[in-house]
């Protein structure tokens, strides 16, 4: 595969992945936990900074090992092939494929705002979206990336429109920012802040996506770190401004009771047209979420297959278009089957915490590889090392522990699903001893 992705392409891939449905759903959850404007804004800022710490840490690995597969490569180098395989296995069967299915169904569901859609039609539309984007990305990387750039610009433009309309049209009230500061004890705020932080971090997830296609990025030693930094900073600014607008137009008590906070907020200044505008923005956001995952995820399976740790046919590159066509097709088929089965919601519930285990291990890999491979060429070294990666590792550990404590059964089922990869690894390892 050729290195054709620019800094703009890489940044837009990350921004487009992060902006999904979270910014339209999570503000209501945060308003339920936080009792003041300052704490609400603070939780979005803290989550953004913690995400930035993860991005700054992972950027060192991406710059040093700019190969297809991203985290798969980093875990394999730091811990051995089994852990890399387990991540890729989890991504294919569960994490990424279920995410594609869930986002595609969300897109199809929101189409129901404009005309009635049956449950079967929702599934068929979702599968059609997955199929269309799979074919688009088989045709060529540049074609897929151009589509992603356009969709991401539309996403960002939609959120900027919400920000501009909220600030410059009449309807908002300065008094809605009250109470500005909490009137509760510090000890009572801390546990609620932790719950709010977990929800907010979900809205920032997806910041690592560009590393999956590291083998196709131009000047990766510079481009990958910069794209991770820029995309995270862009999202932090947008998310904080959007939440300020929501509070300005509605107030925290109203947000806490809102089922569609973005629609309710823009309706203050645009009336019923505001709801239509927000639905259109959500449609673009979810459509972009489907596309970017279809584009990037198959690179993981392609990398595994090249290492002889997955189906060998997935290691083939289409000679005409230069894309991992078979990996794209197989990924699209499995995601579509998950749509039709309707099990993707349960799968995501079971394994969402597993992503943070791999995040923690990958960031710890920065420290491990500094000692294990001291001579590895590192065009970029993590700012604030080792404090920055250690803070992110501790955060990830907290999120995993919180999931285990609050939902032990789901955590155990999720761990069981992931560990089904063990016999598969032993099979491929025995089949290819040099892998």
Query: Model confidence over 298-342: pLDDT tens digits?
Result: 999 999 999 999 999 999 998 888 899 999 999 999 999 999 987
What pTM does this model have? Answer: 0.90
Mean pLDDT score across all residues of the chain = 90
**CA nearest to 268, candidates 246, 292, 241, 291:** 246
Query: What percent of the chain shows pLDDT beyond 70?
Result: 99
Highest mean pLDDT among 200-214, 239-253, 257-271: 239-253
Indicate the domain borders of the chain: 7-431
Spatial CA neighbour of 344 closest among 97, 131, 112? 97
What's the rounded Cα separation, in Å, for the pair 310 and 312? Answer: 6
**pLDDT above 90 for 382:** yes
403 within 8 A of 352, measured Cβ to Cβ:
yes
Which whole number is the average pLDDT over 116-142? 93
Q: Which of 360, 353, 351 is nearest to 401 (CA)?
A: 353
- Which two three-digit tokens encode residue 120? 């079967």
Q: Which of 46-50, 289-293, 343-347 has the lowest mean pLDDT?
A: 343-347
At residue 435, the pLDDT reads 61
Q: How far apart are the first and last CA of the chain?
A: 21
Q: Which two tokens stand for residue 434?
A: 């040099």
Predicted local confidence at residue 321, as pLDDT? 86
Residue 434 has pLDDT above 70, yes or no: no
Once rounded to an integer, what is the mean pLDDT over residues 146-158? 94
CATH for 7-431 is: 1.20.1740.10
Does residue 433 carry a pLDDT above 70?
Answer: no
């Amino acid at each position: 595969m050729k290195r054709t992705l620019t800094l703009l392409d890489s940044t837009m891939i990350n921004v487009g992945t992060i902006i999904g449905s979270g910014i339209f759903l999570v503000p209501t959850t945060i308003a339920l936990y936080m009792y003041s404007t300052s704490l609400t804004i603070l939780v979005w800022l803290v989550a953004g900074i913690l995400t930035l710490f993860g991005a700054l840490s992972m950027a060192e690995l991406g710059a040093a090992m700019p190969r297809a597969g991203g985290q798969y490569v980093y875990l394999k180098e730091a811990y051995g092939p089994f852990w890399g395989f387990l991540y890729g296995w989890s991504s294919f069967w569960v994490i990424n494929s279920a995410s594609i299915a869930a986002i595609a169904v969300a897109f199809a569901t929101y189409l129901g705002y404009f005309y009635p859609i049956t449950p079967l039609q929702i599934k068929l539309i979702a599968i059609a979206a997955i199929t269309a984007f799979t074919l688009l990305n088989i045709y060529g990387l540049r074609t897929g990336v151009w589509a992603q750039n356009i969709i991401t610009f539309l996403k960002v433009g939609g959120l900027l429109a919400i920000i501009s309309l909220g600030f410059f049209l009449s309807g908002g009230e300065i008094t809605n920012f009250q109470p500005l500061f909490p009137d509760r004890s510090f000890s009572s705020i801390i546990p609620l802040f932790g719950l709010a932080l977990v929800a907010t971090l979900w809205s920032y997830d997806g910041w690592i996506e560009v590393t999956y296609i590291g083998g196709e990025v131009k000047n990766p030693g510079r481009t990958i770190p910069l794209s991770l930094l820029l995309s995270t900073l862009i999202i932090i600014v947008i998310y904080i401004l959007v939440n300020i607008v929501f509070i300005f137009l509605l107030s925290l008590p109203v947000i806490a009771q809102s089922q569609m906070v973005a629609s309710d907020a823009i309706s203050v200044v645009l009336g019923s047209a505001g709801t239509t505008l927000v639905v259109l923005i959500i449609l673009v956001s979810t459509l972009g979420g489907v596309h970017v995952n279809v584009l990037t995820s198959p690179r993981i399976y392609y990398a595994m297959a090249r290492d002889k740790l997955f189906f060998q046919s997935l290691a083939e590159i289409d000679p005409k278009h230069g894309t991992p066509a078979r990996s794209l097709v197989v990924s699209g088929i499995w995601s579509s089957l998950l749509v039709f089965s309707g099990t993707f919601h349960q799968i995501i519930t079971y394994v969402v915490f597993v992503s943070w285990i791999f995040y923690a291990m990958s960031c710890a890999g920065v420290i491990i590889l500094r000692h294990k491979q001291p001579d590895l060429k590192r065009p970029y070294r993590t700012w604030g090392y080792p404090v920055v990666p250690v803070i992110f590792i501790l955060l990830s550990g907290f999120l995993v522990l919180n999931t285990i404590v609050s939902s032990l059964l789901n955590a155990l089922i999720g761990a069981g699903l992931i560990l089904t990869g063990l016999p598969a690894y032993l099979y491929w390892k025995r089949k290819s001893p040099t892998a």
